[in-house]
Amino acid sequence: MAGADAAGIPVAVCGELAGDEAGAVVLVALGVDELSADAGCLDAVRGALARVTRTELDELARVALSALEAETVRGFATELAGGVRRKHVKKSGYHRAGTP
């Protein structure tokens, strides 16, 4: 992403991941500039992206880049996309809202 950004080249993702609410949130957190997905997914993806802050996206990017398992990233992104806020994030993963 950094190389494309430095060269002024937009990064675009087309497909199922871009049309998934949590997937779209992860992609944007990681710096993807454009998403392309089935028209039936767009309202849900727009809603998910509207619910997250830049600070949350930055936190998600840190988790995604340091996570040991994809499920950690998916769970965290799903909570953000669904509007559920978590209490805290540890380097090795995240904790769902309401759990220690």
The pLDDT tens digits of the residues spanning 58-81 come to: 999 999 999 999 999 999 999 999
The pTM for the full model equals: 0.79
Q: What are phi and psi of 89, to 5 degrees?
A: -120, 135
Q: What is the pLDDT of residue 2?
A: 83
Q: Mean pLDDT throughout 32-50?
A: 93
| Total domain count, the chain | 1
Residue 18 lies in a domain: yes
**Domain enclosing residue 10, as ranges:** 2-94
Residue with tokens 């799903």: 78
Indicate the burial class of 74 (C-beta count within 10 angstroms; 0-12, 13-18, 19 or more). Answer: middle
Residue 21 lies in a domain: yes
Q: What is the pLDDT of residue 1?
A: 83
Residue 100 lies in a domain: no
pLDDT per position as a tens digit, 87-96: 434 444 444 4
DSSP 8-state secondary structure symbol assigned to residue 82: T
Question: Percent of the chain at pLDDT above 70?
Answer: 82
